[in-house]
A and B are shown apart, each in its own frame.
Chain A
């Protein structure tokens, strides 16, 4: 007994260590989201202390480093005309007769929570909604198509079923980069889906190699007596599909969704190519935060961190579906 418990303890220690190791990058990402860009070349294991906003800093530098929108600042401070970027904050206060505290209150959040503040102010919520729409629609429609294909192909009762199945799988080995230009032309020129979220959804559900694979193999395990029983009970095929097959697809859906959702959620390339900034999904939006001449790393990491949160929640919800065996009890077991 002593030997077995030592073995168990060792196993738990090793597994926990492995678990921690995989979590380290996430931790560092989280710390980075709150590390000022100016310190981004150093590895921080804890959020570093912030310096307070100095009234000696130049407004131009603040724009460059902290993504302060100089025009918005001018409007907020009711400054008319040209604002010299070389002016220090104290000079602005003096020159335009503005209370220094008013300037400080306006700029302080930029300095203290620069990452989150920049992301949220520049349209994070809009991009989040766009991403949820694209990912949700892609996963749901993709799964539905996969279930329909799967229920037709399951069991490979005809020779051409295998042929269709294999041709679907072929789709997986074509690198998406290779076809991005023809895709762009087809989508914008012939389908008229320029700058439309629909274009992304369409690309995600096309082919459907993975969904076909997952659902076909799972539906093959559903006893055919269930279908026959529905037929005997007076149900049509769509009754079987709606009342019996769809409710049983929880487990394969969890598998399918948890594999494809990160792809769809993190799809940068297609979003950059097919959308304009006003419609960007999260990855494209986060990428666009990096400016032309400087890069606000704090904002980028904050954006990545914030865009991870929703998908993490969904993942935890799906865990339950994995564990449960949906088919238990259908037949003698």
Chain B
């Protein structure tokens, strides 16, 4: 099995550059998720690896082989498309046999391999059906079977779960994770769904605007976002960002003066160049003593009740913040609102949006 290495990979459509020099190492035998908002270039990157898009500049290596100009079928990649792209007039068997047929495999061997793969994916009873007679999840499995049958070095998934309903999505997610463990293959998985990324990935690559923002294990990225984009993109609801004017550092303590005059007292030192404080909703608690907001300075915007917990939205002079509360705990209706911030979980960003003062053990790509 092989790793995939991109060095300074650029993609241009005419004069428009959509990927700006991607340097990326995708680990062998791991599941890597390319995550980013729509239009960030993640699908383009995947299609470049597959060979469906030319590489305008830079190098792409699969294993040790430079494959910039290698035919898609010779790169040792197999792809599962978002809409599955099953051949509609061919039975499940023929769909799965197609890659082998193209390779010129003898018939008896094709038969054997298709049956074997169908067994793994529990497709055996469906082999004689046409794709139109299958459910969404079954079509998905046929598409995976067609990818698996060639024993590719690298599996490429282009948002394969986005067409399934919520329940099936969870099931197929587990299925893919199981297959990855079983086959031990390198898998690259494109999605815009951060839950998929967090649950599936060994390694997450966050992309935005044609740049890699951060590469790392899911929890590393969650706990130590490299910049403001990653911090805001990962986690739902989004991280709270509080822009501030000035900092007064003392020994092991600091007072942060927010825009609008409110002050936050923290039991830690704040980097001098920091301009924004970020804190996730679950790290804000009501009744703490870090930040006290007078009655006339906030309005509650409402709450989202999820059963076990609720997100409360509050409007402050410098913007909105979200607070996570256990279900049943309401915000005080009268008087001042005092909030506590978990000092270890507070993030600081400088004027360019880069994270500061974090344990910098993670790989960081920068804009």
Interface set of A (CB-CB < 8 Å, partner B): 223, 225-226, 228-235, 239, 243-244, 247-248, 326-332
Contact = CB atoms under 8 A, between A and B. Distances in A.
A232 B78 CA distance: 6
A234 B102 contact: yes
Contact of A229 (B77, B79, B103): B79
Contacts of A247: 89
Contacts of B106: none
Given A229-B146, A331-B85, 12 more contacts: A223-B85, A226-B87, A228-B85, A229-B79, A229-B87, A232-B72, A232-B77, A233-B98, A234-B73, A234-B103, A239-B102, A330-B85
Nearest to A229: B85
Nearest to A233: B99
Contacts of A328: 88, 132
A250 to B, nearest CB: 8
Interface stretch (B133-141, B302-310, B327-335, B343-351): B133-141
B131 interface: yes
B114 interface: no
B73 A235 contact: yes
B163 interface: yes
B89 A248 contact: yes
Nearest to B131: A329
A225 B87 CA distance: 10
Contacts, number: 84
Interface of B: 50-52, 71-74, 77-79, 81-89, 98-99, 102-103, 130-134, 136, 139, 146, 150, 163
18 contacts: A223-B83, A226-B87, A228-B72, A229-B146, A232-B73, A232-B79, A233-B102, A234-B99, A248-B88, A248-B89, A326-B88, A326-B89, A329-B134, A330-B85, A330-B86, A330-B87, A331-B83, A332-B139
A233 B81 contact: no
For the complex of A and B, list the 4 residue pairs with the smallest distance between their C-beta atoms, beginning with the closest. A329-B132, A234-B73, A331-B83, A329-B131
Contact of A233 (B88, B136, B146, B163): B146
A223 B163 CA distance: 15
B99 A332 contact: no
B109 to A, nearest CB: 15
Nearest to B143: A229
Contacts of A226: 85, 87
A327 B88 contact: yes
B14 to A, nearest CB: 13
B69 to A, nearest CB: 14
B314 to A, nearest CB: 41
Contact of B73 (A223, A231, A243, A330): A231
A234 B134 CA distance: 25
